[in-house]
């Protein structure tokens, strides 16, 4: 064992390096411990570091000139970031205000060799001494500089060794499933280290309700919304090991997402789900980012059936795949929305294999329309392909019903059981909430009864708590009664017979108004992986390949209707106006005429150039490209003839100039050839000599 050097002998040997210039500046004692646990428990190390002020006094620094920097307590010395004390020390040394820096060990200042060498360079330039428990060092002495550089390297190696040792120990413990730093809500880590489910029945029921509701609706947002509509609150943990009572909060997307994505609820122990990635920012700063890895195959440690779970591992994998499918883009259909199309997110473009965008039209949004987001190969503004979706959806719907027809008996029985089971689960959850409120009221009442009546200082507080629990109990009872009142009654015998009558006719359930479109979409996604569609405009045929989840492909050829959507229902008068004006007027001018005539579209909206264009293209009415060469407007004709509107209309009425107005309020179309002819005739006529006026023999005039 190496004996600690005699402090008195070291100070005598080091005093020769202290010069009057050093004593004119202040001395700094730097104090640091790496963790808060060391700050709380390793008190002897703190005393040794603070005692270094006496060593500075022995070297000649007065007490008033000694400063202690201890701002970095509980912070690691691996880097200078987030260490304001070390940064302030470096700044003071760089300004030449420090004569000596004293620390117990060099590792107290920093364990980064980069920060250490920068500090040494600044100390050398400013002639600042460095000191530790073994002596005083001058950076302008080669041997001292070499020794300090070696100490900095050793400190960095020690940090690497410590971290490697801790990481290896944590990994070894995690491989046995014993590295438990916290447990999610619903679990308790006992004093013996065993993981158990919470003894609170309401907590267990609420967590199970989250997984049941997700199986029904299929998305995080809709699960949280459904739980909110039911009035259900979710538990949140108040400590890391679940030993304290949970607090109750309204359902949120974050809480539901945590429960669905955590493998702990599937009875599995996972370690290494997140990895730390180090990057360099644009400002040159080194940053560390924590990324969660969702694929269980890349987790370093995964122990299934490690503890009791709320769901099975197979259900966890199914939920994970469902959440991946809910992502929009990247080849995923996205979550089920509120639209009526059963093929939302499932249709791909045949020519380019891009996911087609779905939009709805009509007053009730009853018309679906698919459009490829990419442009045509000729780099035109038109999309790659676009078509109405009603006919395609009808064909896929018939295929689905033909497949599901043999399974209709089991489906009806399951539907009947699910209706009754859903009611029982909701009522059970509300009963547990009421039971918890009653227990809280009884506990507050017992505490009030146990207090001495004369001790009003305590009795008043307990009385207020009892009254608060009574109000909470009454609010819970009223809420339960309101929910039960709004809940549909259980099925009677007539309704049960009607439900069983649907056996063998699943198409009745499919097309029933009581079946929400979300359930049709969910059922479609269970069987259909995607649909590849390609339309042939020449023959108006749609070639669709239905790819089933089993790998089978059904190839269908569908004849598309010529007119689709709400534009097949426009009034005949509007259609006549558009047809008469299409060849000689722009779409914007036609829309303006229809607007001035107070005409509306079938959806009761105003006419726009885009809507006129869709009708014109659907009817196949080509627009003339030489309109500006054959006709001119009224204002242009007036300028060319240098006349007013009244005179020009008279010429049109006499037939001197050709012009027409296809509909009252429309722009005039006047023949350019006639206007140019009349203009040339006016220029070729001789001008009349102006008349003179006589008055008293005098002539006035040119």
Q: Which of 232, 226, 223 is nearest to 257 (CA)?
A: 223
Nearest-angstrom CA–CA distance, 391 and 397: 10
Active-site entry in 34, 112, 138, 155: 34
- Say if 507 falls within a structural domain: no
Do 149 and 223 belong to one domain? no
Q: Is 348 helix (H, G, I), strand (E, B) or coil?
A: strand
Residue in the block written with tokens 């400190």: 155
Residue 94 has pLDDT above 90, yes or no: yes
Among 57-61, 155-159, 575-579, the range scoring the smallest mean pLDDT is 575-579
Is the C-alpha dihedral spanning 281, 283, 288, 294 positive or negative? negative
- Could you give the number of structural domains in the chain? 5
Nearest-angstrom CA–CA distance, 497 and 494: 5
DSSP 8-state secondary structure symbol assigned to residue 173: H
Instruction: Compute the average pLDDT of residues 421-435.
Output: 75
Q: Which of 187, 264, 248, 255 is nearest to 223 (CA)?
A: 255
Is the C-alpha dihedral spanning 403, 406, 412, 413 positive or negative? negative
Q: Which of 362, 359, 370, 373 is nearest to 396 (CA)?
A: 370
Residue 663 has pLDDT above 70, yes or no: no
- pLDDT confidence of residue 619: 66
Residue in the block written with tokens 């809940």: 487
- pLDDT confidence of residue 221: 84
Residue in the block written with tokens 């912070």: 75
Nearest-angstrom CA–CA distance, 567 and 577: 14
Do 133 and 256 belong to one domain? no
Cα 50 to the chain's mean position, in Å? 50
- Say if 555 falls within a structural domain: no
Question: Final residue of a domain: which of 104, 138, 171?
Answer: 171
Do 223 and 294 belong to one domain? yes
Q: Is 35 left (phi over 0), alpha (psi -120 to 50) or beta?
A: beta
Residue 152 has pLDDT above 90, yes or no: no
Buried b (16+ CB within 10 A) or exposed e, 351-373: eeeebbebeebeeeeebbbbbbe
β-pairing verdict for 541-548 and 553-559: antiparallel
In sequence order, what DSSP letters do the residues of 634-647 get, joined into one string? HHHHHHHHT--HHH
- pLDDT confidence of residue 341: 84
- pLDDT confidence of residue 699: 44
Question: Final residue of a domain: which of 326, 356, 382?
Answer: 326
- Say if 1 falls within a structural domain: no
Strand ranges in 63-209 using DSSP code E only, listed in sequence order: 66-69, 98-102, 129-132, 135-137, 187-189, 195-197
- Say if 208 falls within a structural domain: yes
Nearest-angstrom CA–CA distance, 366 and 375: 26
Do 300 and 411 belong to one domain? no
The CA dihedral of 570, 574, 575, 580, to the nearest 10 degrees, is: -170
Do 270 and 319 belong to one domain? yes
Do 610 and 653 belong to one domain? no
637 near 651, Cβ under 8 Å?
no
* Residues in CB range of 172: below 8 A, 6 or more apart: none
- pLDDT confidence of residue 28: 93
Nearest-angstrom CA–CA distance, 102 and 27: 8
Mean residue pLDDT across the chain: 78
- pLDDT confidence of residue 694: 46
- What's the pLDDT tens digit per position in 543-570? 888 888 777 888 888 887 755 445 556 6
- pLDDT confidence of residue 15: 64
Residue 157 has pLDDT above 60, yes or no: yes
- What's the pLDDT tens digit per position in 502-514? 555 666 667 777 7
Q: Which of 536, 533, 524 is nearest to 555 (CA)?
A: 533
Measured between its terminal Cα atoms, the distance across the chain in Å is 133
Full domain range(s) for residue 254: 184-326
- Say if 239 falls within a structural domain: yes
173 token code pair:
């413990």
180 near 195, Cβ under 8 Å?
yes
Buried b (16+ CB within 10 A) or exposed e, 290-300: eeeeeebeebe
Do 33 and 150 belong to one domain? yes
Banded model confidence at residue 99, pLDDT cuts 50, 70, 90: very high
Question: Final residue of a domain: which of 589, 606, 625?
Answer: 625
Does the annotation count 679 as an active-site position? no
- pLDDT confidence of residue 363: 67
- pLDDT confidence of residue 100: 93
Do 162 and 25 belong to one domain? yes
- What's the pLDDT tens digit per position in 352-389? 778 888 888 766 777 888 888 776 554 445 567 888 88
Domain of residue 226, CATH code: 3.90.1750.20
Do 87 and 123 belong to one domain? yes
The CA dihedral of 323, 189, 205, 224, to the nearest 10 degrees, is: -30
- pLDDT confidence of residue 93: 92
- pLDDT confidence of residue 379: 44
In sequence order, what DSSP letters do the residues of 488-536 get, joined into one string? PPPP-HHHHHHHHHTTT-HHHHHH-TTS-HHHHHHHHHHHEEEEEEEEE
Do 275 and 299 belong to one domain? yes
Which of 175 and 287 is assigned the larger pLDDT? 175
Banded model confidence at residue 123, pLDDT cuts 50, 70, 90: very high
- Say if 699 falls within a structural domain: no
- What's the pLDDT tens digit per position in 433-488? 788 888 888 888 887 777 777 777 677 777 788 888 888 888 888 877 777 776 66
Nearest-angstrom CA–CA distance, 89 and 101: 9
Q: How far is CA 686 from CA 374, 647, 682, 689, in A?
A: 65, 21, 9, 9
- Say if 509 falls within a structural domain: no
Neighbouring CB atoms inside 10 A of 112's CB total 18
Do 135 and 207 belong to one domain? no
370 near 357, Cβ under 8 Å?
yes
Domain of residue 57, CATH code: 3.40.50.1390
Q: Is 655 helix (H, G, I), strand (E, B) or coil?
A: coil
Q: How far is CA 309 from CA 208, 456, 488, in A?
A: 10, 49, 33
Do 426 and 462 belong to one domain? yes
291 near 272, Cβ under 8 Å?
no
- Say if 147 falls within a structural domain: yes
Helices then strands, each counted (H, E), the chain: 26, 27
- pLDDT confidence of residue 3: 43
């Amino acid at each position: 064992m190496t004996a600690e050097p005699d402090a008195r002998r070291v100070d005598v040997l080091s005093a020769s390096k202290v010069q009057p210039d050093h004593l004119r500046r202040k001395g700094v004692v730097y104090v640091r411990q790496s963790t808060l646990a060391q700050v709380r428990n390793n008190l002897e190390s703190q005393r040794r570091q603070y005692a270094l002020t006496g060593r500075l006094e022995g070297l000649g620094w007065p007490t008033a000139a000694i400063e202690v920097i201890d701002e970095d307590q509980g912070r690691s010395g691996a880097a200078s970031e987030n260490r304001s004390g070390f940064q302030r020390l470096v700044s003071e040394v760089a300004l030449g205000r420090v004569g000596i820096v004293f620390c117990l060990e060099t590792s107290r200042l920093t364990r980064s060799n980069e920060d250490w060498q920068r500090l040494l360079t600044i100390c050398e330039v400013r002639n600042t001494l460095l000191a530790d428990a073994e002596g005083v060092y001058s950076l302008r002495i080669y041997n001292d500089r070499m020794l300090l550089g070696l100490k900095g390297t050793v400190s960095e190696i020690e940090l690497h060794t410590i971290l490697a040792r801790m990481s290896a120990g944590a990994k070894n413990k995690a491989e046995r499933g014993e590295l438990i730093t916290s447990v999610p809500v619903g679990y308790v880590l006992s004093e013996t280290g065993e993981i158990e489910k919470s003894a609170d029945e309401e907590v267990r029921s609420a967590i199970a309700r989250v997984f049941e509701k997700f199986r029904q609706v299929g998305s995080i947002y809709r699960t949280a919304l459904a739980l909110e509509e039911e009035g259900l609150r979710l538990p949140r943990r108040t400590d890391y090991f679940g030993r304290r009572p949970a607090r109750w909060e309204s359902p949120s997307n974050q809480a539901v997402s945590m429960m669905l994505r955590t493998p702990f609820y599937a009875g599995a122990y996972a370690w290494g789900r997140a990895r730390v990635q180090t990057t360099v920012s644009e400002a040159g700063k080194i940053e560390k980012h924590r990324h969660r890895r969702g694929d269980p195959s890349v987790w370093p440690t995964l122990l299934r059936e490690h503890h009791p779970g709320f769901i099975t591992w197979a259900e966890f994998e199914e939920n994970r795949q469902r959440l991946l499918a809910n992502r929009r883009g990247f080849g995923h259909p996205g979550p089920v929305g509120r639209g009526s199309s059963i093929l939302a997110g499932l249709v791909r473009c045949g020519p380019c294999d891009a996911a087609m965008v779905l939009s709805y039209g009509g007053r009730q949004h009853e018309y679906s329309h698919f459009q490829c987001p990419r442009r045509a190969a000729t780099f035109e503004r038109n999309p790659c392909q676009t078509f109405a979706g009603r006919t395609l959806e009808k064909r896929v719907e018939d295929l689905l019903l033909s497949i599901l027809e043999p399974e209709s008996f089991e489906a009806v029985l399951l539907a009947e059981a699910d209706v009754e089971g859903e009611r029982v689960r909701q009522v059970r959850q509300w009963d547990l909430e009421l039971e918890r409120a009653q227990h809280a009221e009884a506990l507050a009442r017992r505490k009030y009864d146990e207090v001495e009546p004369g001790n009003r200082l305590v009795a008043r507080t307990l009385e207020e708590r009892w009254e608060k629990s009574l109000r909470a109990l009454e609010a819970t009872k009223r809420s339960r009664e309101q929910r039960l009142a709004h809940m549909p009654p259980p099925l009677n015998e007539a309704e049960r017979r009607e439900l069983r009558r649907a056996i063998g006719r699943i198409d009745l359930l499919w097309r029933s108004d009581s079946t929400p479109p979300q359930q049709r979409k969910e059922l479609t996604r269970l069987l259909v992986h995607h649909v590849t569609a390609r339309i042939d405009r020449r023959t108006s045929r749609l070639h669709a390949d239905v790819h089933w989840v089993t790998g089978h492909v059904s190839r269908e050829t569908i004849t598309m209707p010529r007119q689709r959507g709400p534009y097949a229902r426009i009034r005949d008068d509007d259609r006549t106006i558009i047809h008469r004006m299409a060849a000689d007027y722009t779409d914007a001018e036609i829309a303006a005429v229809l607007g001035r005539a107070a005409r509306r579209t079938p959806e009761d909206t105003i006419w726009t150039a885009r809507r006129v264009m869709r009708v014109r293209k659907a009817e196949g009415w080509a627009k003339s490209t030489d309109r500006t060469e054959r006709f001119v407007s009224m204002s242009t004709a007036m300028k060319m003839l240098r006349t007013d509107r009244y005179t020009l209309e008279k010429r049109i009425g006499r037939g001197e100039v050709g012009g027409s107005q296809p509909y009252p309020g429309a722009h005039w179309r006047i023949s350019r050839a006639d206007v140019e002819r009349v203009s040339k005739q006016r220029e070729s006529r001789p001008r009349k000599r102006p008349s003179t006026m006589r008055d008293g023999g005098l002539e006035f005039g040119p």
